[in-house]
Amino acid sequence: MGEGIPPSDEETMLQSPEEEPTLTEIQRNNGGSSKRPSGLLIGGAVVFVLLVVIGLFLPPISLGKRLGGGAETAVSSGTPTDESATAAPAGSAIPGEITLTTADGTNVNVTGMSLADFVQAHASAAMPGDAAVQGNVYALDYEGDAPEGEVVLTVPAGVSATETLDLLGWDGTQWNFVPSELDTANKQIASHAGKLPQAYALVQFAAPQLPETAVELLPEQTLPVDLLPVVSQVMLGKLSLAENGAVEGEAAPMPTGAYEQFVSASNTGAIINEAALTSILNDSTAQTNQVNALVAAAQAGGFAGVDLDYQEPAASDRDAYTQFVAALADALHQQGLKLVVTLAAPQNLGDRWETGGQDWAALGQLADVVNVQMPLDPAAYGDGGPADQLLTWAVRQIDRQKLNMLVSANATNQVGESFVEMPNDEALSNFGELEFVQGSEEVEPGTAVEVALSGTASPLAWDGDSLTYQYSYENNGQTHNVWLANAASLAHRLRLAKKYNLHGVAVRGLGNVADGPGYAAALNSYASNGEAPAPASAAIVWTVKDE
């Protein structure tokens, strides 16, 4: 997106509120419907025109100087933070700070001012205590209903951590998150098109004092006891889609603890049931049945709400899926329940991120919490890597104060460009069974025994970038690359949530782990700034028993 274009000299003269009152002000000062003799009106008009002509040759317009080629151009040296912010003149743009456009050409004046001045005029516009305004607050003045439009703001000078910079809009009652895009080359943030608020501000929020640490548990899984004190939310289930909007399955709540419990509904498993989701989204009766069934399931189990994990809605059903989520959110909120929405990792197409039938910005406005599935590729979590890039974009679409990064504590199996997660014990099965090359299961003391594994897995190799052990094996002519998960690799991934001051993290696969203390330390390293667990060595150990 390009730099904002400053108004021409003629536009500046017309837009300056100090030189010419608005029509509303003229009507208010004249009583709106006051009548005067026509002779006085004509005489007043002559005097008014004369004064305007004289005024054109006086500062600040100085028409004679401009016509003579001696005009000067004001240059902005960058916007200060709120502590030193100064009022800026009104207009549809403030050069070097903000440019605003409307879809229908509606005239909108923008005035820059400090937060203190804005709050003095609008008492309800005070920011939360953990929010720091960067630069000016930009008040918008327009007639009638809010027009459709978009705004481009320049990142204030001195702000280097753009990954934690949010665009907020004030609606007359409260400040709301505004979806946007970041232009790093031009150091600008551009809002998505939509109804204009009454003011804009760029804000940095502090990291949450008590970040969310959520875990997902599948049926028959049990959370290690060491993890219970460090978990704040548990997603249990899963319920699955059935005909005509009904749900199948059960989700038994865990024993009461210092964590919220949500029932999880999903169309995922061995395959993603796209057909069932499409059927519901194109049947209003089935949608109503589905909403009622999910609310009833949450109430019956005493859950805090529903975790909606419906994946791969068709792109053609994008609006229908958003409307379905809106109906579910409304129904849950009416019962005092919450909605968690789980979104699939988007596809990076270079110039944009593709999310298919999931409208991230719209869904982020509806949900109470959003879990964003992060890449399964262990190599994606380096600084500036794919996971980092995803979060840079994600916090522009969804309020970071409700955003969790969802990562896996499972092993990862790669075939070509495809990555699939699996429990560690399943991944280790690729080494095969113990086979005796020399000797047998019963040996005499001092007798040499030669053994081997029947599988085709290569020896374990340490991957220092992902903090995992990796091996490969062949199956049906295809090479599989497998990374074994551990507590240190989980802590390595969770550090990105700190970088972006996210609401929290969600972890899948902790019901499969044996190292409860290690994974508890990994969660503590994120939530409480504890020491991250060190990588443990890995080796194949043979045990000989004397029976």
How far is 469 from 483, CA to CA, in rounded Å? 6
pLDDT of residue 535: 87
pLDDT of residue 384: 95
Average pLDDT, the chain: 84
Query: Are domains 82-205 and 212-409+486-527 of this chain identical in fold?
Result: no
User: Mind spelling out the 3-state secondary structure of 329-367?
Assistant: HHHHHHCCCEEEEEECCCEECCCCEECCCCCHHHHHHHC
Of 366, 371, 396, 7, nearest to 163 by C-alpha is 396
CATH class of the domain defined by 212-409+486-527? alpha beta
One-letter identity of residue 108? V
pLDDT of residue 543: 72
How far is 154 from 78, CA to CA, in rounded Å? 9
- The reported pTM is 0.80
Strand positions, DSSP E, 142-186: 148-154, 165-170, 175-177, 180-183
pLDDT of residue 443: 72
What pLDDT digit, counting tens, does each position of 225-250 carry?
Answer: 999 999 999 999 889 999 899 999 98
One pLDDT digit (tens) per residue for the chain, 547 residues:
443 333 333 333 333 333 434 333 333 343 333 333 333 333 333 333 323 333 433 443 333 333 333 333 332 333 334 444 545 544 588 999 999 999 988 899 999 999 999 999 998 899 988 899 999 999 999 998 999 999 999 999 999 889 999 999 999 999 999 999 999 999 999 999 999 999 999 999 999 999 999 999 998 889 999 999 999 999 998 899 998 999 999 888 888 889 999 999 999 988 899 999 999 999 999 999 999 999 999 999 999 999 999 999 999 999 999 999 999 999 999 999 999 999 999 999 988 999 999 999 999 999 999 999 999 999 999 999 999 999 999 999 999 999 999 999 999 999 999 999 999 999 988 887 777 777 677 777 777 777 777 778 899 999 999 999 999 999 899 999 999 999 999 999 999 999 999 999 999 999 989 999 999 999 999 999 889 999 887 767 767 776 6
Which stretches within 16-72 are classed as H helix? Answer: 23-29, 38-56, 63-67
pLDDT of residue 87: 52
CATH class of the domain defined by 82-205? mainly beta
Asked if 92 and 140 count as a contact pair (C-beta separation under 8 A), the reply is: no
Sign of CA dihedral 302, 308, 310, 313: positive
DSSP 66-106: HHTT---------PPPGGG---EEEESEETTTEEEEETT--
Spell out the domain ranges in the chain: 9-67, 82-205, 212-409+486-527, 411-484
